[in-house]
Chains A and B, each alone.
Chain A
């Protein structure tokens, strides 16, 4: 029997027991648009699967206990040293379980790639406006996944209970303690008493391997179901409209490509784990609160937070005998809280400014949404400045600078550079719009010079293809909202301040180089 016939029998078998033929037939022919930037989310998904697989392997040997043991394992330099059972078992995984170190490194590399892919995917979705109606809910789920990812990653590298990870936990405890009124209580509940106690490794273990992965699975499932149900967005282009979706069917093209891509991501992660050492916990030694290694660094996705904490001014206030540590609260809780809340609410903020409540399935070219693109560049710049300060000690030693210079540079930079990035990016977007307009009106520069009979030199321009011209002109340019301060009968509207703000934002948002119009084309033709 041929493969086709066998698979046909399977399909028959399934349908006779579920009656799902109609649904599955449609699903297998479901169309997915093709673009490299759509792979970023896939990388995150596949890294998650790799994390589940490698993580499960590690749990077979890891002992999440803070019971004190004396190390008698294969790693000579730590022979006879007192340490927690958690750290000892992490050493055993690294040195005595065959393939254990490989799995530990795959797990850690996959976590770094997972977070990088989430951030890259988020940037793609943001800059192309894929979060607009009807996908606002999925955007919020995405922001939730990013937040969970940061927490999950932090808990993960805290588990081995080495010197570096214990220091991270100590800092987390200081942040909890800094919360006004309830901080000490929360810290005592989290650690079962004074820091470090003997409970936090087992506690964060169950959160790391059960609670958060469960939340991840649930959120990822909903995230993907919504992508499936709402159908994927697509880039503008000939034949692509708000009403259709153009691409390859799930079976066989997309299945083979996506399935193949999973193996490629896994293969690359395994390669990294094979050749590039990561988190060599045996070099750090067991955790003790009295020691630390110079150049302590969190994983990259925590770096911005660490940089913010480092650059905070030394402000503490005391009133009625109570202490408020602004130097911890502002960088550790308030700024991240504002950033993440703002990010989650952004789809609603943007639609409030533009007044656009319609569905969007065609993506924006970033230049055609200059304010959004500039805002994204501004946020990225903020993150980069804080990230640089998070590594200020290493940058100082590698580039022969003083920590004080970098610290002061970033303290000012964090206020100056992001707005600067906003202005520059917005100007760049408008320039690109102008270039698009030129291209449509006057064509492509060919580099061929002609000498006119009059002696004048001109460059020959060649018209661009109709497909390209269509891409450059098919976007919408929304006018600013009209929000007069008084209504038709001359009565002042309610919420005047809010309206004024909205009108100003909307005006700023509507700034654009007018795209080529039918009149422009007619005028060109008549030349």
Chain B
């Protein structure tokens, strides 16, 4: 190749330059003392670590400029460990750089490709081995072996079957039934419409006979947001408006995008914002997505009051809450 022609000849490795420590024994002794000093500092670091572990109480706070109030026990342990390790390394490298021979060495490389005859012999051996096994000729063996190996791979997959149950109806259901009371979270108290001021927002849960039995699995789909607006502020279809009660509207708190808690409510704009991926929902328009990656509004729960004025769910959610999945609409 024409490019192989080098216009400027390789001047070869530069001559080795001696360091001061190579020629001056005093400099070498000084370097030795420097290395030993670093190892000595490392030992002091270990002492600091031991002292901090044994003698410094773990609730002692000290003031350190810039860093502010710091836990002395924690800081002593950490700094002691850092010093003891760092200075071992620094000493070793200083030792290598000043006192160990620094003459560069040249080692030859060899092409990985073997000589032609070896390669040919190798290929022949492989071919011969394959031929003598009869794999090419005896297609019955080849095919049945392939089938058996393929089938045997099924057993580990099958054996992992009991990792979990198959998805059932619970995937699409929540604990909200018609007539379920809305209760405060925390507190588990029933709520009256008057408990909620206009402009306020509250997280509620369905009432459980025994609140102790409410697990994370339930919270993960039942969490509900109540928001109270002035009824004139709504911009809803009549059927959606009928699902509200005196300006109180209820949405699933689980984001329809990836299931985070839609926890931020902006009172002035009446927007709900999910802190994970910034999907933004307009409360006045039935949680319509106005920004971000969510594709669906938050499911709205149909609420009303019982005879005593306590808020209840009129119907369960009409769609699954939370992130989408393949069979969601089925």
Contacts and interface: CB of A to CB of B under 8 A. Distances in A.
Given A184-B326, A247-B104, A98 B53 contact: yes
B261 A271 contact: no
Interface centre among A170, A309, A322, A469 (most CB of B within 10 A): A170
B10 A238 contact: yes
B95 A256 contact: yes
Given A238-B14, A287-B216, A521 B7 contact: yes
Interface string B147-171: 0000000000000100111110011
B140 interface: no
A321 interface: yes
B74 interface: yes
Interface of A: 29-31, 98-99, 101-102, 105, 134, 167, 170-171, 173-175, 177-185, 187-197, 199, 230-231, 238-239, 241-249, 252-253, 256-257, 259-268, 270-271, 273-275, 287-296, 306, 309-316, 318, 321-325, 327-328, 331, 359, 361, 392-393, 403-404, 407, 440, 466-467, 469-470, 473-474, 476-478, 515-518, 520-521
B89 A262 contact: yes
B258 interface: yes
A23 B293 CA distance: 60
Given A267-B86, A274-B78, A174 B258 contact: yes
A327 B257 CA distance: 8
B203 interface: yes
Contacts of B167: 184-185, 187-188
Nearest to A268: B86
Given A244-B109, A296-B275, A323-B325, A267 B82 contact: yes
B259 A291 contact: no
Contact of B74 (A177, A197, A274, A310): A274
Contacts of A182: 326
A197 B170 CA distance: 13
Interface centre among B1, B9, B216, B324 (most CB of A within 10 A): B216
A177 B172 CA distance: 13
B289 interface: yes
Interface centre among A179, A244, A275, A321 (most CB of B within 10 A): A275
B3 A477 contact: yes
26 contacts: A167-B261, A170-B220, A171-B259, A177-B323, A178-B324, A178-B325, A179-B326, A184-B167, A188-B171, A189-B163, A193-B165, A244-B106, A246-B105, A253-B100, A261-B93, A263-B92, A274-B81, A289-B259, A289-B261, A291-B261, A321-B330, A322-B330, A324-B326, A470-B11, A474-B6, A476-B3
Contacts of A249: 105
Given A253-B102, A312-B293, A325-B324, A196 B217 contact: yes
Contacts of A188: 164-167, 171
Nearest to A287: B216
Contacts of A322: 326-327, 329-330
B170 A194 contact: yes
Contact of B295 (A252, A295, A327, A403): A327
Contact of B107 (A170, A231, A520): A231
Contacts of B277: 306, 309-310
A26 to B, nearest CB: 10
B101 interface: yes
B29 interface: no
Interface in B79-103: 79, 81-93, 95-97, 100-102
Given A256-B93, A260-B88, A314 B295 contact: yes
Contact of B223 (A259, A260, A289, A515): A289
Nearest to A68: B215
Interface in B263-322: 263-264, 275-279, 289, 291-296, 322
